[in-house]
Chain A
Amino acid sequence: MIEEAERPLVRVPLVLNKRNFSWLTGRISGVVENPAPRWWWVAFTITASVATFGLFCLGYQISTGVGTWGLNHPVGWAWDITNFVFWIGIGHAGTLISAILFLLHQKWRTSINRSAEAMTLFAVICAAIFPGVHVGRVWMAWYLAPVPNNWAIWPNFRSPLVWDVFAVSTYFTVSVLFWYTGLIPDLATLRDRATTKIRKFLFGLFACGWRGSNRNWRHYEMAYLLLAGLSTPLVLSVHSVVSFDFATSILPTWHSTIFPPYFVAGAIFGGFAMVLTLLLPARAMFKLQDVITPQHIDKMAKIILLTGSFVGYAYMMEFFVAWYSGNSYERFAFWNRVFGPYWWYWWVGMLFCNVLSPQLFWFKWCRRNVYVVYFVCMCVNAGMWFERFIIIVGGLHRDFLPSAWGLFIPTWVDIWTYIGTLGIFTSLFLLFIRFLPMIAMSEVKTAVPEADPHYATPTGIQSVSPGGKERTR
């Protein structure tokens, strides 16, 4: 009998049932190549209709004016900026999975990184709509760019709002570059499997003649590593800059140095919940359980628990600092958060959804039960929206002078613009899983044991030393 200490450590495989390379290629490409299942058409019809109505609301708002939203004194930022922070935060999980987990050699990321990165792009598209439209006269939005012009109007580079424009647009651009770089080998796979001329042409066009050459992989891997290295501080900076929009003001509850790490943790928290919200159904519908395994769900649940606890700690710290500062406005603002007119947003959204519900993930049974995981993820999705609403509207609606207090009441345009972006987001994601491989095939193959060059040296061939004197280019 083997002693406990001598027993070799066996890792749970990342791809179950000993699936080989061609199974992975076939199953993942099949999602794109086979005719769309009926549920896809039903889902897409619904989401595209909602998206269209959302676009109508945007058109109505732009043509009529910002007055179609419920914004007024004292609440000049409400659902629009809430939605902006909500969507941009969701994007962060995609970059965390694709960049930070890559630098940390977390191979399990290979099953989920492609769809998480796609989710990032779509979330940032939804996010960018709101500040873009909120400026009122959208056709003047180019004032934010440092363009020489006749009126000598320049952006104030010391303003966090201008930092935000640069941060979000850089984030989107770099995410697109990173995503496309990752897609090239998989587009080549689809090109080589294509049966019709048009598919062969289009996938061939976007695969750029990729042929899996190791001389190409060498530069490719360096580019991928450096893009990951650049994206890592970038993703941390984006939500920090978003939080500066609030933290550099003098409003109670906004004027806070805890905001950057608090926002980043919340973004990753909410983003992982959205990754699971999208992937749990996709995994079941396309029978990808051998690739997105219970182990993956378990790990994502643990990240939700960790970041959820960061967020809970930040909530507690805000209350402590409000009390410890001795500032009566700050103290009132936090009392108002819990017992004021928006009390239930705090009790349900922040306390129950964000702090309490992820604590279920301390239990392995909960992390392994997809229904429990899905329930918690839906709580977190909702809770993170409420959190942003409480921070933004909670800070604005009762500030220093009671005579200037008020409430925010959303109009139908507010509500349907938000629901419309949910439609845009899900429509784009549905299109993505139909037209592009939702799992990075070339990456997930490296997580299979056979990909290791030392997996089983073929018999009859004598192994040569790994290094060599000859250096060829």
Chain B
Amino acid sequence: MRTPAGHNVYAMAAEYPSAAALYEAAKRIRDAGFRRWDVYSPFPIHGMDEAMGLGKSWLSGWVLFGGVSGLLTAAIVEFGPSSFLYPLDVHGKPTNFFTVPAFFPIMFELTVLFGAFAAFFAMFGMNGLPRWYHPMFNWERFSRVTNDGFFLAIEARDPRFTETGVRELLEQSGGQHITIVHED
């Protein structure tokens, strides 16, 4: 889809006066069956995931994976040298398996460390960040999104997208400054 000026259309977007208005609008867009759309806000709005029809974030799966790999790494790094490569005899203390509690602190630390790295990088990966450009930044009003602006955009590639239908829906849900956002 193109505008008369020849730009590719990314989405039709609207601004909402408050978090509450955006929340109500999101529920309407969800019930209208759209799939390629998003809301933008300066802070996470409580309950918005449900209002958008989004489930739980499975980022937690990556963190579990990270934590388990940290635990295994610590086990290998500790038991490898201490039990097989170079058993250290300190003050004649035993080096057998009954000393395993002394290995727990490092196992714990590496579990946390790898889990935290997994959470951090999974957040970027699952969000498609970092990215230097996004079509929404073409709309000059959108710079308020990190201050006090609340926005909703329905993408043109959504199968239910029609210019008149979406405009009507955004108007009915209380959207203001409804506009077409260019892809480029």
A contacts, CB < 8 Å to B: 20-22, 25, 146, 152, 154, 156-160, 162-163, 166-167, 170, 173-174, 177-178, 180-181, 185, 188-189, 191-193, 204, 208-223, 226-227, 230-231, 233-234, 237, 241, 244, 441-443, 445-446, 450-458, 460-461, 463-468, 470-473
On whether the beta carbons of A208 and B129 are closer than 8 Å, the reply is yes
Interface contact B48-A453, CB-CB below 8 Å: yes
CA distance A355 to B20 in the complex (A): 48
> Does residue B54 face the partner (Cβ distance < 8 Å to A)?
yes
A453 and B38 contact, Cβ closer than 8 Å, known pairs A173-B116, A185-B43:
no
Given the known interface contacts A178-B116, A211-B134, A445-B42, the answer about A219 and B59 at a Cβ–Cβ threshold of 8 Å is yes
Q: Is B30 an interface residue (CB 8 A)?
A: yes
* Contact of B40 (CB < 8 Å), options: A146, A213, A231, A471: A213
Q: With A170-B112, A174-B116 given, can you name 6 additional A-B contacts, CB distance below 8 Å?
A: A158-B88, A162-B106, A180-B120, A209-B133, A217-B41, A220-B127
Kindly report which residue of chain B lies nearest to residue A153, judged by CB atoms: B86
Give the residue of B34, B45, B67 whose beta carbon is less than 8 angstroms from that of A472. B34
**A21-B148, A157-B106, A446-B43 known; A214-B99 Cβ under 8 A:** no
Closest CB in chain B relative to A64 CB, distance in Å: 31
Check if B45 sits within 8 Å of A453, measured CB to CB.
Answer: yes
Contact between A226 and B115 (Cβ–Cβ < 8 Å)? Answer: yes
A245 to chain B, nearest CB (A): 12
Q: Which of B1-9, B76-84, B161-169 contacts A (4 or more CB under 8 A)?
A: B76-84
Cβ–Cβ contact B130 & A209, under 8 A: yes
Q: Which of B24, B116, B133 has the most CB of A within 10 A?
A: B116
Shortest Cβ gap from B9 to chain A (Å): 18
- In the complex, the answer to whether B116 meets A213 with C-beta atoms within 8 Å is no
Q: Which residue of A lies closest to B116 (CB)?
A: A174
Residues of chain B within 8 A of A457, CB atoms compared: 20, 24
- Please, which residues of chain A bring their CB within 8 A of the CB of B129? 208-210, 216
- A442 touches which of B30, B43, B48, B144 (Cβ 8 Å): B43
Q: Do residues B40 and A226 form an inter-chain contact, with CB atoms below 8 A?
A: no
**Chain A, interface SS category:** helix
Contact of B69 with A by CB under 8 A:
no
Contact A157 B60, beta carbon cutoff 8 Å: no
B residues 94-140 touching A (CB-CB < 8 Å):
99, 102-103, 105-106, 108-110, 112-113, 115-117, 119-120, 122-124, 126-127, 129-134, 136-137
Does B23 lie at the interface of the complex (its beta carbon under 8 Å from any beta carbon of A)?
yes
**Interchain Cβ contacts under 8 Å between A and B, 8 examples:** A154-B81, A163-B106, A189-B146, A208-B129, A216-B127, A230-B116, A460-B174, A470-B31
The answer to whether A458 touches B24 (Cβ under 8 A) is yes
Q: Are B40 and A472 in contact (CB-based, < 8 A)?
A: no
B55 within 8 A of partner (CB) = yes
Q: Is B137 touching A211 in the complex (CB atoms < 8 A)?
A: yes
B110: which of A21, A170, A466 is its contact (CB, 8 Å)? Answer: A170
A162 to B60, CA, bound (A): 30
Shortest CB-to-CB span from B79 to chain A, Å, is: 9
Given contacts A451-B19, A456-B20, contact A25 B126 (CB under 8 A): no
**Contact of B44 with A446 in the complex, beta carbons under 8 Å:** yes
Contact of B122 among A22, A219, A441 (CB under 8 A): A219
- Judge whether B59 and A223 touch: CB under 8 Å: yes
Is B50 a contact of A213 with CB atoms below 8 Å?
no
Residues of B within 8 A of A (CB): 17-28, 30-31, 33-35, 38-57, 59-60, 63, 67, 77-78, 81-82, 85-86, 88, 90, 93, 99, 102-103, 105-106, 108-110, 112-113, 115-117, 119-120, 122-124, 126-127, 129-134, 136-137, 142-148, 173-174
- Give bound CA distance, A231 to B115, whole Å: 10
Most buried by B among A213, A241, A443: A213
Please, which residues of chain A bring their CB within 8 A of the CB of B57?
A: 218-219, 221-222
Q: Roughly how many angstroms separate A154 CA and B79 CA in the complex, as a whole number?
A: 11
List residues of chain A with CB within 8 A of the CB of B109.
163, 166-167, 170, 234, 237
Q: A166-B109, A170-B110, A237-B109 are in contact. Are A226 and B60 (CB under 8 A)?
A: yes
Whether B146 pairs with A226 at a CB distance below 8 angstroms is no
A152-B86, A167-B109, A227-B119 are contacts. A453–B53 as well, Cβ < 8 Å? no
A165 to B59, CA, bound (A): 29
State whether A157 and B81 are in contact (beta carbons under 8 Å apart), knowing that A166-B105, A219-B126 are contacts in the complex: yes
In the assembled complex, the CB of B122 is this many whole angstroms from the nearest CB of chain A, namely: 7
Asked if B147 and A223 sit within 8 Å, CB to CB, the answer is: no
Residue of A nearest to B59 (CB): A222
Q: Which residues from chain B contact A458 at a C-beta distance below 8 Å?
A: 17-18, 20-21, 24, 174
Do the beta carbons of A209 and B117 come within 8 Å of each other?
A: no
**Cβ of B26: which chain A residues have Cβ within 8 Å of it?**
214
Assess whether B49 is in contact with A218, with CB atoms less than 8 Å apart: yes
| B105 / chain A contacts, CB cutoff of 8 Å | 160, 163, 166-167, 237, 241, 244
Residue among B27, B38, B112, B142 making CB contact with A233, cutoff 8 Å = B112
In the assembled complex, the Cα of A166 lies from the Cα of B73 at a distance in Å of 13
Q: Is the CB of A473 within 8 A of B54?
A: yes
The residue in B20, B48, B81 that gathers the most chain A C-beta atoms within 10 A of its C-beta is B20
8 nearest CB pairs, A to B: A208-B130, A453-B23, A21-B148, A223-B123, A222-B57, A158-B102, A189-B146, A209-B131
The closest CB in chain B to the CB of A460 belongs to B174
Q: Is the CB of B82 within 8 A of A177?
A: no
A113 and B165 CA atoms in complex are apart in Å by: 45
Nearest-Cβ distance from residue A442 to partner chain B, whole angstroms: 5
A214, B123: Cβ atoms under 8 Å? no
- Max count, chain B CB within 10 A of own CB: residue among A22, A204, A222, A445: A222
Q: How many angstroms from the CA of A464 to the CA of B146 in the assembled complex?
A: 27
